[in-house]
Structure 1
Amino acid sequence: MRVLQLIDSLDAGGAERIAVSYANALADKIVFSALIATRKEGQLYDQLSENVTYLFLNKKKAVDFGAVLRLRKFIIKNQVAIIHAHGSSFFTAVLTKLILPKIKIIWHDHYGARSTQSRKKNQVLIFCSFFFSSIFVVNLQLKEWSKNNMFCKKVIFVPNFASMRDESKKITNLKGVENKRIVFLANLKNPKNHIAILKAFYDLKIKDLGWTLHLIGKDYEDDYSQVLKDFIKSNFLENHIHLYGSRSDIQYILSQATVGVLASTNEGFPVTLLEYALASLPVISTNVGYCSEIINDGVNGLLFDPLNESQVKKSLKKIIGDEPFRKMIAENFKQTVIKNYSKEIVVEKLMAEYKK
């Protein structure tokens, strides 16, 4: 089996991390595993296994024939049979199939918000789906959407898997007091909804109890992040809420944390939750996307409606105020993830689907 993971960038986003994880995991299982970034490289390049063949296409525009020809040459040279295209990279994959008809395209949808979007907003994707052999989705809402809207009707739910990363890196030292750190691992952009957690942190006066909040994720220096910075400054929270930007030593960061949070208004299947679990962190999470399938409220985590401020505050208050409860749900969550979302289980499913 010879498979290529195709992704538009190697920035530290959810789809990008899954593409890298798949390429790495398959390198030990199949004859040839490759990853190609089409438009942009990024920090995830450092996490690629030395057994994964890598190429950067340096695509400059939507229809870049030079990039397509470089991809075609790579496929022919390495006898690639399957392009596993993640997210928006489907367009490059389809352009390649037009000049290399025998290549098989599997498209992987990681974008949770698509399940609420119209056909009109996805016209190009829907047209291109005519060329897909199958579609992988990360939650059941996306599965329903694809079955109802796409030309390709072979739609398979494939869960993301847990895989801790950057095992040797110890770079980022979190500020604040040990055993009182809340970590929020998400790039600073919609629909991650950081402001909901910032408001709850402030309203509950958590800083007075010695707790700190740590935002780990890319800062796009836009209106979204400015709102967060203005809130922190206007409420004199500079010594209690800390922004670190994009970081590569996530495992080390999580080892210093006490609680993990996620507050998105839309989600697919957040890898962040799996990483929190493997780091033995108790979690409070939004109930959107696949989150409520992973988390059993009150048993292995706490769920809230991300648009309901009182629910957000109730969950945050409960988890910081009850240490035995934190320990119980953290262990339960870790066992849930190891049992159901391990690399071995998901990769076996992936390979079985490739063979069909």
Structure 2
Amino acid sequence: MKILYIIESLKSGGKERRLLELIDGLKKDKNFTCAIIILNDQIHYKKAHQNGCEIFTVKKDNYFSISMQIFNICKTFRPTIIHSWAANATIYSLYTVKRLKLKLIDSSISTAPLEVKKKSKINLINQIIFKFADMINANSQVGLNSYYAPKNKSICIHNGFNFDRIKNLVSETEIREKFSVTTKKVIAMVASFSEKKDYATYIKSALQILENNNDVTFLCVGSGDYTKYQLLIPKEYEAKIKFLGKQSDVELIMNICDFTVLSTYTEGISNSIMESMALGIPVIATDGGGTSEIIADYENGILIPPKSPQILTEKINDLLNNSEKVEYLGKNAIRQIKENFSIDKMIDKFILLYKRVLVK
């Protein structure tokens, strides 16, 4: 079976890592041959060049030009299935799918907004995709529901975590020294500095905590411009709320934390949450999107309402003052990832999806 994946790029990101982990798993099965088309030449993952998977780069131009480039690649590679990981990639693939009578899977849904207006641009694009795709895949059930994906050809496959990523981690002492962390307690939020991630709530809560507790450091880790959030920090707290920017090995940073926070409100299944839980580090996260599909409140993490800094402060204080509760949540967090969100489970479900598509 030949699978041709199409994605915007292979820059650092959850979707991109997930695709490469999937291909790594499939290459162990001799029944699969994989290739990737990227719509620009950004490749940040070394493993993209190490898994024996051919990578084609399409030159960005007009719709017709991109569609024809994909068509010509498919005539050479001759895939059984086109598996698209971006909405625009799916649209560009439609001509090829029709002409060459290929199967099409769309995996562009990775968020779960509270409301998608039926007359919005994204919904109109999705309706075209839903009509022509053989199967729609998302990493959360709530994501499929948010975008009105047709139930008869939709499937949720949760992200999978590869525990090889946390073998042989650098010592906590070394990471503390690298980022000048001297406090007993450490908390982190790992997310891009976009509006929807809601760093404002995290920082407001951090400032409230620091008024009464100066033995805790709050780390802010992610890509994007964080200048406006830095401006929220009074000078006396600058050493306790650290902006680390984009980091390639977030597991090393999470590993020095007592617990982590994610105050975003449009997630599907967050890679940040999975990474933290896999390390046995509980997460306080917004009860929205697909988060409740991975976190059970006060069982393996804590859920809070969106945009609620005061409630977040209460929950942080609760865990700062209760190490036994942190340990309990952490043990259950690891169990949740191992039993329900492993990379092997994810790969097995995609293999079943490919087999299902072929008989449609």
Aligned to 1:211: 216
Structure 1 residue ranges, 4+ long, deviating more than 4 angstroms after superposition:
166-172
Whether 2:201 is the aligned partner of 1:201: answer no
Aligned to 1:344: 344
Between the aligned partners of 2:326 and 2:213, the Cα distance in structure 1 is 20
Whether 2:137 is the aligned partner of 1:127: answer no
1:179 is displaced (CA, Å) by 5.0
Residue-by-residue CA offset, 1:82-123 (whole Å, 9 max, x unaligned): 12211333222224324x432211011433245611222221
What is the correspondence of 1:194-343 to structure 2 with a 5 Å cutoff? 194-205=199-210, 208-219=213-224, 221=225, 225-232=226-233, 234=234, 236-343=236-343
Alpha carbons of structure 1 residues 182 and 228: separation in structure 2 relative to 1, 3 Å: same
List alignment gaps of at least 5 residues for structure 2: none
SS in 2 for 1:243: strand
Whether 2:358 is the aligned partner of 1:353: answer no
What is the correspondence of 1:19-34 to structure 2 with a 5 Å cutoff? 19-29=19-29, 30-34=31-35
1:49 is displaced (CA, Å) by 6.5
AA at the equivalent of 1:119? K
Aligned to 1:143: 144
Between the aligned partners of 1:149 and 1:251, the Cα distance in structure 2 is 33
SS in 1 for 2:237: coil
1:272 is displaced (CA, Å) by 1.3
Aligned to 1:187: 192
1:166 is displaced (CA, Å) by 7.9
List alignment gaps of at least 5 residues for structure 1: none
Aligned to 1:107: 106
Between the aligned partners of 2:308 and 2:250, the Cα distance in structure 1 is 29
Between the aligned partners of 1:217 and 1:58, the Cα distance in structure 2 is 28
- RMSD of Structure 2 on Structure 1 (CA): 2.5
Alpha carbons of structure 1 residues 64 and 246: separation in structure 2 relative to 1, 3 Å: farther
Between the aligned partners of 1:322 and 1:19, the Cα distance in structure 2 is 38
What is the correspondence of 1:152-167 to structure 2 with a 5 Å cutoff? 153-164=152-163, 165=165
Whether 2:80 is the aligned partner of 1:75: answer no
Contact 2:3 2:34 in 1 (8 A): yes
Residue-by-residue CA offset, 1:179-200 (whole Å, 9 max, x unaligned): 5221211111131111111110
Contact 1:163 1:275 in 2 (8 A): no
AA at the equivalent of 2:124? Q
Alpha carbons of structure 1 residues 61 and 116: separation in structure 2 relative to 1, 3 Å: farther
Between the aligned partners of 2:294 and 2:43, the Cα distance in structure 1 is 29
- With structure 2 as the length reference, what TM-score do the two structures score? 0.87
Contact 1:254 1:276 in 2 (8 A): yes
AA at the equivalent of 2:205? A
Between the aligned partners of 2:130 and 2:100, the Cα distance in structure 1 is 14
AA at the equivalent of 1:32? T
The sequence identity of aligned pairs, in percent, is 21
Moved more, 180-189 or 6-15: 6-15
1:141 is displaced (CA, Å) by 2.3
Alpha carbons of structure 1 residues 169 and 56: separation in structure 2 relative to 1, 3 Å: farther
Contact 1:6 1:85 in 2 (8 A): yes
Alpha carbons of structure 1 residues 61 and 181: separation in structure 2 relative to 1, 3 Å: farther
Between the aligned partners of 2:239 and 2:281, the Cα distance in structure 1 is 23
Alpha carbons of structure 1 residues 178 and 8: separation in structure 2 relative to 1, 3 Å: same
Between the aligned partners of 1:179 and 1:91, the Cα distance in structure 2 is 51
Between the aligned partners of 2:93 and 2:105, the Cα distance in structure 1 is 9
Between the aligned partners of 1:92 and 1:174, the Cα distance in structure 2 is 44
Contact 1:296 1:302 in 2 (8 A): yes
- With structure 1 as the length reference, what TM-score do the two structures score? 0.88
Between the aligned partners of 2:212 and 2:181, the Cα distance in structure 1 is 10
Contact 2:268 2:290 in 1 (8 A): yes
Contact 1:169 1:249 in 2 (8 A): no
AA at the equivalent of 1:74? I
1:76 is displaced (CA, Å) by 3.1
Between the aligned partners of 2:56 and 2:278, the Cα distance in structure 1 is 31
Whether 2:99 is the aligned partner of 1:85: answer no
1:351 is displaced (CA, Å) by 0.6
Moved more, 104-113 or 343-352: 104-113
Alpha carbons of structure 1 residues 299 and 258: separation in structure 2 relative to 1, 3 Å: same
Number of aligned pairs? 346
Between the aligned partners of 2:332 and 2:192, the Cα distance in structure 1 is 27
AA at the equivalent of 2:106? W
1:68 is displaced (CA, Å) by 3.4
Alpha carbons of structure 1 residues 95 and 261: separation in structure 2 relative to 1, 3 Å: farther
Alpha carbons of structure 1 residues 70 and 49: separation in structure 2 relative to 1, 3 Å: same
Residue-by-residue CA offset, 1:318-339 (whole Å, 9 max, x unaligned): 1222112111111111101100
Moved more, 162-171 or 313-322: 162-171
SS in 2 for 1:289: coil
